[in-house]
Structure 1
């Protein structure tokens, strides 16, 4: 079968290609550039733990040494500290990393991946598709026609793929604008990130704004200043003045020594593509959505697009088209992005209004600062990752369904589990392989050799039910799981989202839930009964 064509060699396109290759799907990545990124210290990304785990799982490279994990976060208003967050193992800090460092890690992993071909200097200019596949044409030094099974546009905000498919991209332009600088200096908060609203050295009014400081390795900081509405030119003189007055204000004295490494202006747009799939052509990342106001992170959502899409494309590539499964990519991811955009649009007037009745409400300013911090930290109303509770893949009418600490559709906790070979591993290490995961919660099993419990209790019956599922599944055992009672059975998708939790071994429910998670190909009660019968017959 023809490879999957991925257009765009940014972090999202490279992540998708790696994720597909890990599931034995060959890919061609069309890179319009020379095959490497220019270092831009002022172009950085903040990644939550799940996004970091995804990249590390695909590349085998720890990112901690390339980025900065903050010891804490502080919010300030004028001269007052309004919020302090301290991070620890139970509440890990996000990772702040330069985007070119992230891309280099992904490219390095692809260099050793025989299933992925990267074609540099290849700019897409035509796409044709028919029932059996997709044909793409590129121009440039190696301009040619490429044949693929599917094509995924990861080619950024000005996506050629999106335009060739005539997909509308409505939304709001210039929601917020920031002046950005990366510099090496020494600040009082050596390893803490900082949100400072209405700093006292700025005059009151819309230009008072806010500044965010986020540390990087080697004494480097990225500083972002919120600019007033409008299109006023950000001159080098203005940027240098902002740097000097901010550093002086934070150190309560003369301007400390600094080395200016990079500058820029970052304009935030809010847009959402009407469709993310046209037949065998799909969109991901900035080609499908733009967000980033109020501290939210757009690139991270693109990585989650790739994680959601990869296992579904792999299943279709290996086993034939599954229309409902591929359609669910748009329904799940578009709903998650839409919710974040809606939250930001609703809170923008409150957080950027700067006056009115709200300014006289006791505690309002502190509450607003907390909302903004949540956006930067990936928490709460603005920053929390989306779940797929309303997914078309969610099973219905399961008689044995129970509640656990993870809601259905949300990412599962990364607990320690025993694998089928008897080794102890993290649950997260088994994701991204294309298999469903079935996790039995069995307290006490961790202290016994696997041979003593693998044939005891409910294990033989559960193993038979797992063997009878409509898709390959791996059986794992956990001593505990948040909110789960003994003998709870969890069904987890290849991308780590919980399908359902069942109270005990229920072969018919387990089969029906797995069938639903795969798009319902064999559908309905008949399939569930067939699976239950097969499981019963193999006991």
Structure 2
């Protein structure tokens, strides 16, 4: 029983490693013979993404990444506000910045050491069909090749049009007219190493925005919003790029390590499950990068897909469980699109009324109304068919920026440790029941937790946690039948008889 993972960017790499951890053989397909080691690209890794990678043996990414804890927002020369990121009680930082190239390098090392992953480089996918199994047609230097698998994860990125067409999908949505110039700069900027800085309408980019992220090795990623007719080559030749950079750095020496120009999009496929193929990451959804919701959401796609495919392939769930992948992750993509579209509408107002409104908000400096990007956070599966609601813990909706909802059904388990160990690590070994003293969990894989604490557990409760560390149900004085019903719902089928 094999899964083909199409595309070996960070999302595909993560999916392959997670599947292998569950004991599933993987064929990892990528069109490139070698990696492109240049450029920061996707640089912002959120705590829960780092947690997934740490569970795979890549804890060094959290250690190597540059931790930033403060997000500063300016209007022209005036600082409007700063946001301190909460530590969340976790040993992992809320965010780190690390180049995508380094992430790929570390994950490639883990893949090379994993015997269940067969990597096929230099394989350009030309077609995908599903005559019972998944058949992937590829072009290689040695000629056409065919790969067969029971299921597939399509993580071929934004340019994965061939795969999307083969699956009857396309990225519907909008593209923004303005461009964004991105430069990786190496320079000495004292005091900037732990802060993300965002400017509305700075004097050195009037009428538009600038975002600066610190990176390891005295590097800084600078994003300028520029007009749609911007010409990078002409600006470099005429010296305007140097003047643009020096308007920020002053007379300090600097080195341009990498530069590129991007157009941002908000686009989403209609279906993230197409038969036996699950679409993930940029292959399924594109959002503007303000808030770092692209890569982080893609890693969440990978974890959601991996445990569900593993349960189906092991016979612990029926194929209907895979439909919940679309239900849960498409809803997450819709929320990300809503959040980032609101940000882009504030950054680049589309009409005069919105421009006036933005000017009023910035002049007033009201923190809650200034939108420079809501930072990436987990999506909460409170409306999922796999979640058993608890009327004592109703979900109050999206919390304020920088805050997390209280623990409960559909919410990612807080990163806490009990005498038995770290709860998320224990959950990622399979379904787990957390019990308070007095609850009978005979025959069920369980861990006793204290009343109160980070979960706010109450006497006589049992918390059922999924293999991706999301809470599936909170049960009060449960019987064995109560536990089995919640477990069956969380696995998308009748109870298979084992946790």
CA positional deviation for 1:509: 1.9
CA positional deviation for 1:250: 4.2
Instruction: Give the TM-score taking structure 2 as reference length.
Output: 0.88
1:292-334 alpha-carbon deviations (Å, 9 max, x no partner): 2544431111111001111100011110772321001001100
Q: Say if 1:440 and 1:489, in contact at 8 Å, map to a contact too.
A: yes
- Residues 18 and 401 from structure 1, CA distance in 2 versus in 1: closer, same or farther, beyond 3 angstroms? same
- Residues 432 and 185 from structure 1, CA distance in 2 versus in 1: closer, same or farther, beyond 3 angstroms? same
Could you say what secondary structure the match of 1:486 adopts? coil
Could you say what secondary structure the match of 1:462 adopts? coil
1:123-145 alpha-carbon deviations (Å, 9 max, x no partner): 122323233x2222222135422
CA positional deviation for 1:12: 0.7
Match of 1:15 in 2: 14
- Residues 145 and 186 from structure 1, CA distance in 2 versus in 1: closer, same or farther, beyond 3 angstroms? same
2:38 paired residue among 12, 37, 40: 40
Q: Say if 2:123 and 2:138, in contact at 8 Å, map to a contact too.
A: yes
Match of 1:356 in 2: 356
Give me the CA root mean square deviation. Answer: 2.8
2:466 paired residue among 489, 493, 504: 493
Instruction: State whether structure 2 residue 215 is matched by structure 1 residue 198.
Output: no
Could you say what secondary structure the match of 2:314 adopts? helix
Match of 2:455 in 1: 482
> Which deviates more, 141-150 or 17-26?
141-150
Q: Say if 2:70 and 2:85, in contact at 8 Å, map to a contact too.
A: yes
Match of 1:59 in 2: 57
CA positional deviation for 1:249: 4.2
- Segments of 5+ residues of structure 1 without an aligned counterpart are 379-383, 420-424, 443-456, 467-473
Instruction: State whether structure 2 residue 279 is matched by structure 1 residue 283.
Output: yes
Distance in 1, Cα, partners of 2:231 & 2:241? 17
Distance in 1, Cα, partners of 2:83 & 2:26? 42
- Residues 129 and 286 from structure 1, CA distance in 2 versus in 1: closer, same or farther, beyond 3 angstroms? same
Q: Say if 1:489 and 1:501, in contact at 8 Å, map to a contact too.
A: yes
CA positional deviation for 1:88: 6.5
Match of 1:462 in 2: 441
Number of residue-to-residue matches in the alignment? 478
Instruction: State whether structure 2 residue 153 is matched by structure 1 residue 152.
Output: yes
Match of 2:418 in 1: 417
Q: How does 1:287-326 map to 2 (within 5 A)?
A: 287-319=283-315, 322-326=318-322
CA positional deviation for 1:356: 1.8
Q: How does 1:107-256 map to 2 (within 5 A)?
A: 107-131=108-132, 133-142=133-142, 143-159=144-160, 160-174=162-176, 177-191=179-193, 192-203=195-206, 208-228=207-227, 230-235=228-233, 237=235, 244-245=242-243, 247-250=245-248, 254-256=250-252
Q: Say if 1:441 and 1:478, in contact at 8 Å, map to a contact too.
A: yes
> Which deviates more, 318-327 or 81-90?
81-90
Greater Cα radius of gyration, structure 1 or 2: 1
Distance in 2, Cα, partners of 1:326 & 1:240? 55
- Segments of 5+ residues of structure 2 without an aligned counterpart are 396-404
> Which deviates more, 64-73 or 11-20?
64-73
Instruction: Give the TM-score taking structure 1 as reference length.
Output: 0.82
Query: Comparing both structures, which one devotes a greater share of its residues to helix?
Result: 1
Q: Say if 1:23 and 1:311, in contact at 8 Å, map to a contact too.
A: yes
- Residues 13 and 77 from structure 1, CA distance in 2 versus in 1: closer, same or farther, beyond 3 angstroms? same
CA positional deviation for 1:286: 1.0
